[in-house]
Structure 1
Amino acid sequence: MVGAPVSANPLKLDVRSHSKCLLICVIATLSTFQYGLDYALVGGFLSMPGFLEVFGYYSEDLEKWNIDPTVQQLISSLMTIGTFLSSLMVGPFSSKFGRRHGLWAATLLNYVATAIQLGTTSKAALYVARLILGVSVGWFLTFAQLYVHEAAPAHLRGISFAVYQVMLSIGSIVGASVDYGTHTKKGRDAYQIPLALFYVAPTLQAVLLYFFAPESPRWLMTQRKEAAAEESLRRLRNPNIDELEFRAEFNEIKQSTLEQLEQNKKALFLEMWRGTNLRRTLLSIAVVCFHSANGSSWVNIYTTYFLQIAGVKQPFSYSVMVTCTGLIGVLVSFFFVRLIDRRTVMLVGITACGICQLVPAIAWSKNPGTEATGKIVVAFISLFTFFYVAYAPYAWLLGGEYVNNQLRAFTFGLATALNFLGNWAGTFSAPYFINPAKFGWGPKYGYIWFGSNMICVIFTWFFLPETRDRTLEEIHEMFEAKVPARKFKHYVCANTESYAAEAMGHDLAERKNVRAAHVEELPESKA
C-alpha cells in the first residue's frame, strides 16, 4: 500500500523543486471555487425568506415560506444540465483552442449568468441564468482539471488535485457563511449580496492566467507544436531544474504523444471506443461517475434544507460546520496522497460514505423527527462530507490519468458530462423524496445511496488500475500493453524509460541505480 512505486519519472521526487508549477496549478484551479460556492449558496437560498418571497410562496399548512418542488428542482438541476452540456463541448472546443481559452470563455459566461440572477425577479429568466451558469461552471471544472493533469509532475498530481478540492471546499464554506450572514435580511439583498461573490474568483483567475500560466505542453504537442510545447514545459518547471531531467521529461512527452497521434488518425470521438481506448474510456467514465453515485449531490445542495426538515435547530450554522468538515477532509488528504495507493484511498472513502448514508436512514426510520435523531443526522452528514471530500479529488484524478494525451479532453469531457447527468438525476429527484409535500422520506433517502456506494466499492476492487506516481506516458504504455489492473503497480515501462534515457544518456541509468539503492535502504513504510 505504501511501498515505493515503480516509475520512469526522471524528475526529483520532492515538492520544493516544483513549487513554481504547484503555484500555477493553484491559479488554474481558482475558479473551482465557483462550484462549491453555488452548491452552498443555492442550498441556503431554498431556506431564505428573502429569496422565497420572490421565487416561493407562503404555506398556510407549514406556517412559513416554502418553495414549490418543481421550482426547487429547476433551480438546482438546470445548472447541472448546463454543466452536462458544456462538458460535452470540452473535446471539440479544446482540440481547437486549448485549455486556457476554455477557462477564459467560462469567465465570460459566468459574468452573463451572474448579472441575470442579480437583476431578475422572473422565474423564467432565473432558469435561463442557471443554465448559462452551469455551462460556465462545467468549463471551469473540466478545463482546470485537464490543465492540472497535463502540467503537474507525476508524483505531485495528487497534491495538485487536493488543491483543486481545497478551492471547491473554500467556496462551499464562503457560500454557507455568507448565506448565514444575510439570511435574516429583508428583501432581495438577502440573496443578491451572496450572488455578487460569483464575480471574484473568475476575474482573479483570468488575470493571473494571462500573465503567469502557459498553455498545457501536452496539448501543444498534440497540435504538433514542439517548440511551443518545450517552452511551455520550461515555464512550468523551476528555473534551476537540472537540464538533463528537463530534457528527459520533455522527450517522454514528445515521443509518447507522437506515438499516440499515429495511433488515433480517425475522428477522435470514434477513437475513444476502439481498441485499447475502449477500456480506458469505460474506466474514466466509471470512476468520474463515482461522484454522482455516492449521493454527494443531494447532500451538498440540500444540506440546509435537509437539516431544517429533520428538525435540526440553527440549520444555517450547522451548514457552515458541515462545509468546514469538508475542508478538513481535503487538508488531511495532503498528508496521505503521496504515500497511499489510489485504490486504497478510493476503497476507504467510498465505504465510509456508504456507511454515513446508511446510519441516518436507520436512525430516522426508528425515531423520526426527534432531537436525538437530528443530532445523528448532523453528525453523519458531517462525516460523509469529510470522507467524500478526502477521496473525491482522486476520482477526478484517475479519470484523467487513464486516457491518453490526444483523447483526454474528449474522454474526460464525456465522463464529466455523464457525472453531471447523474448529479442532475440526484438533485432533480431529491425533492420528491425529502420534501414533506411529496414522499417526505427525509434521511431515509440514504438507503438508496448506501446501495450505490457498495456497487462502487466492488467495481474499485476488481477493475481500477493503480497509477500513483506514474507519468501519463507510463500509464499510456501499460494500457497499450493490456496490463491487468492488479499488475499496474509493479509493471516496468521499458519504452517510456527508453525515451528518457535517449535524452539523458548513461546519466539516467546511474541516477536510477542511486535512487533504487536509496529506496532499498529505507523501511517499506517510508520508501
Structure 2
Amino acid sequence: MVAGAVLSANPLKLDIRSHKKCVGICAVVTIASFQYGLDYALVGGFMAMPGFLRVFGYLDPVSGKWAIDPTVQQLISSLMTIGTFVGSLLVGPFSSRFGRRHGLWSATLMNFIATAIMIGTTNLGALYFSRFILGISVGWFLTFAQVYVNEAAPAHLRGIMFAVYQSQLSIGSIVGAAVDRGTHLMEGPEAYRIPLAVFFVAPTIQTIALFFFPESPRWLMTQGKEEAAKSALRRLRNKNISTAEFEAEFNEIRISTHEQMEQRHGKHLWLEMWRGRDRRRTLLSIAIICFHCANGSSWVNIYTTYFLNAAGVTEAFSYSVMVTCMGLTGALASAFVVRRLDRRLIVLIGVGACGLCQLAFAITWTVAPGSVAAAKCVIAFISLFTFFYVAYAPYAWLMGGEYPNNHLRAHTYGVATALNFLGNWLGVFTAPYFINPASLGWNAKYGYIWFGSNAILFVFTWFCIPETRDRTLEEIHEMFEANVPARKFKSYVCTSTRAMADAAIKETEVNSVVHKENVVRTEKV
C-alpha cells in the first residue's frame, strides 16, 4: 500500500509548483470547513459557561451551580446537525441548476441570518430555529466546497487539498476553543455572544474571493457549456502549463462527461444513482463518508469540554484547546504522507487507532472512575483519538466524492453527507443519556460502544474500499464501469481514459506542426 508506480492517465505534471494557482483557489474554497470546526468547539464550550447557562439554563438547587437541562442540551447540539441533514439533501437539486459557487454564496447568506438571531435572542425557540438554519448553512458550506475541490484540483493534489480542508476545520476548532476559553468566565451574555460573532469572519472572506474564481469545469460540462468549461479549467491552471497537457486533461473531461450524460439523458437522477453500476458507487460513497459518524467522533468532538468538566478535570477549557491542537497536528501530518501512502492504508490506520483509543479510556474509567489518574489518562487518549481521526478524516470525504460520476456527484455526495449528519445527530442526541450524571452517567465508559463500531469499519475498509490515489475522476469512472473489484483498482490500467488524453496530445502536436509549416510558407512568400 506504500506509494509505487501509479498507472494513471493523468496528463499533468505531478508536482505542486506547476499548479500553485489551483492550490490557492481550493485553499480559499476550503475556508468553508472553518465554520464546522468553529461550531463544534464553540457550542460544546457554551454548555459549561455560566454566562450562557444564566440565559438558557437553570440554577441547580442541590449544587448551587448553573446547569442545563439534558433535553435543551440535546436540542441545541442536535438541531444544527438536523439542519445539515436537510441542507445536504438539497445540494443535488440546487447544484444541478445553479452550480457550486452559488451554493457557497447561499450558505453565507443563511449563516449571516442564523448568527444574527443567535446573538440577539434570549428565547429558546428562536435559538432552536437559528441552530437549524445554521445547520443548513454549514451543510452547504461543507458539501459544496468538497465537491468543488474534487472537481477542480488535479488528481495528484486532491489528497493534499483535502488535508488543507481538514486543517481549516481544525483551525476553526482551535479558534472556537480559544475564544471560549477567553470569555467563559464572563457572567453576562457577552460570554457566548463574542464567540458567536466569529461566525461572520470566514464566510465574508470566502464570499468576496468567489467573485474572482471560476465555476467547476466539470459542472459546466454537465450543463452543455463546453466553451465555458474550457475557460474555467484554463483559469484554474497556471498560465505556463503546456498546451498539450491542458488539451489532454480537457479532452478526458469532455469525452467522459458526454458519455456519462448520454447514458442518463432524460432520466431522474435521484433514481439513477441507485441503478446498475451506479448503485455500487453510491453505496461506497455513503459508507466511507459515514465513517465520520460511525467512529464516535461526534460525542468526543462536541462534548469534550463538557465531558472533562463533568469528570472533574480542572482547566477543562485549556485541555479542550490542547485537544483541538492535536487535531491540527494530525491534519498537517497527514498532508506530508498522503502523496506517499495509499488512502486505504491511511484509513485503516486511522480507524484502528481510533477504536483502540475509545477502548483505552473506557477501560481506564472502568478501573479507576473519577480518579485524577483516570482523568489524565482520558485526556491523553482523547488527544490521541483526535490526532488519528483528523489524520484520516479528510480522505474519507475525498474518496466519497471521487466514487460518483460527474453527472451524479452532487446528488450522491449530498445524500451521503446527509446520512453522515443524521448519524452525527444520533450520536450527539444520545450522548447526554450516556455521559450526563443526571442520566446513565457512564462518562468515558461510553467508549466501549464505539470500539466495536471502529472494528467494523476496519474490516469493511479492508475488503470493500477501492484505492483511488492519483487517479483522475475519469479513470475512476472507467474502473467502475468495467466493474473492477476493489482490490484491483490500484493495478488497473485505464486504457480508454489514456486514449482520450493521447488523442488530444497528438492533435495538439499535429496542429503545432501545421502552424509552423504555415508560418514558414508565409515567410517564403
User: Which range moved further: 393-402 or 1-10?
Assistant: 1-10
Which residue does the alignment assign to 2:235? 235
**Matching residue's letter, 1:253:** I
* SS across alignment from 1:224: coil
Deviations 1:24-45 (A, max 9, x none): 0011111211000000000000
The aligned counterpart of 1:299 is 300
Partners of 1:507 and 1:204 in 2: CA distance: 39
Structure 2 match to 1:395: 396
What is the distance in 2 between the residues matched to 1:370 and 1:137? 38
Q: CA deviation at 1:61?
A: 2.4
Report the counterpart of residue 525 of structure 1 in structure 2: none
**Residue matched to 2:247:** 247
**Could you say which residue in structure 1 is the equivalent of 2:333?**
332
**What amino acid is aligned across from residue 347 of structure 2 in structure 1?**
M
Partners of 2:69 and 2:328 in 1: CA distance: 32
1:172: which partner in 2?
A: 173
What's the counterpart of residue 404 of structure 1? 405
Give 3-state SS (helix, strand or coil) of 1:505's partner: helix
CA contact (8 A) 2:243 2:508 kept: no
Shift of 1:408: 0.1
**Equivalent position of 1:143 in the other structure:** 144
Q: For residue 314 of structure 2, what is the aligned residue in structure 1?
A: 313
Q: Distance in 2 between matches of 1:443 and 1:133?
A: 30
Partner of 1:256: 256
CA distance in 2, matches of 1:60, 1:372: 30
Determine the structure 2 residue equivalent to 1:517.
none
Equivalences for residues 199-238 of structure 1 within 5 A: 199-211=200-212, 213-238=213-238
Equivalent pairs counted in the alignment come to 507
* 1:78 aligned partner: 79
Query: What's the CA shift string for 1:159-191, capped at 9, x where partnerless?
Result: 000111111000000000000000001200100
Aligned 1:63-74 pairs, distance under 5 A? 63-74=64-75
Identity of aligned residues (%): 70
Q: CA deviation at 1:506?
A: 8.6
RMSD between superposed Cα atoms in Å: 0.9
1:430 aligns with 431
Aligned pairs for 1:112-511 within 5 A = 112-211=113-212, 213-265=213-265, 266-505=267-506
Aligned to 1:518: none
TM-score under structure 1 normalisation? 0.95
**Equivalent AA in structure 2 for residue 450 of structure 1:** F
Where structure 1 has 5 or more consecutive residues not aligned to the other structure, the ranges are 509-527
| Secondary structure at 2:211 match in 1 | helix
Q: Bigger CA drift: 415-424 or 59-68?
A: 59-68
What is the rounded CA distance, in whole Å, between the counterparts of 2:5 and 2:157 in structure 1? 15
Q: CA offset at residue 311 of structure 1?
A: 1.6
Say which SS state the counterpart of residue 483 (structure 1) adopts.
coil
Extract unaligned runs of 5+ from structure 2.
Answer: 510-525
Q: Letter of the aligned partner of 2:372 in structure 1?
A: E
Cα distance in 2, alignment partners of residues 468 and 72 from structure 1: 41
Which residues in structure 2 correspond to 1:26-65 (within 5 Å)? Answer: 26-65=27-66
Secondary structure of the 2:31 match is helix
2-side partners of 1:249 and 1:94: how far apart?
A: 23
Q: Structure 2: how far apart are the matches of 1:31 and 1:392?
A: 16
Q: Which amino acid aligns with 2:220?
A: L
Partners of 2:58 and 2:68 within 8 A in 1: yes
Take 1:444 and 1:407, find their aligned partners in 2: how far apart are those partners? 41
Aligned counterparts, 1:93-112, within 5 A: 93-112=94-113
Amino acid at match of 2:477: H
Counterpart residue identity of residue 41, structure 1: L
Once residues 405 and 167 of structure 1 are traced to their aligned partners in structure 2, the CA distance between those partners, rounded to angstroms, is 26
Equivalents in 1 of 2:14, 2:369: separation in Å? 53
| Aligned-partner Cα distance in 2 for 1:264–1:388 | 37
Rounded Cα–Cα distance in structure 2 between residues aligned with 1:102 and 1:406: 17
Deviation string 1:247-302 (CA, Å, 9 cap, x unpaired) is 00000000000000011121001100111000000000000000000010110100
Counterpart of 2:443, as a letter, is G
CA distance in 2, matches of 1:347, 1:164: 20
Question: Match of 1:199, as an amino acid?
Answer: F
Contact 2:435 2:446 in 1 (8 A): yes
User: Separation in 2 of the partners of 1:35 and 1:4?
Assistant: 36
Secondary structure of 1:492 counterpart: coil
**Partner of residue 8, structure 1:** 9
Q: Which AA in structure 1 matches 2:14?
A: L
State the distance in 2 between where 1:58 and 1:340 align: 53
Deviations 1:425-480 (A, max 9, x none): 00000000000000000000000111111110010000000000000000000000
* Letter of the structure 1 residue corresponding to residue 307 of structure 2: F
Cα distance between partner residues in 2 of 1:227 and 1:495: 23
| Corresponding letter in the other structure for 1:222 | T
Range that drifts further, 223-232 or 302-311: 302-311
SS in 2 for 1:406: coil
In the alignment, the residues of structure 1 paired with residue 68 and residue 217 of structure 2 have an alpha-carbon distance, to the nearest angstrom, of 48
CA distance in 2, matches of 1:114, 1:95: 28
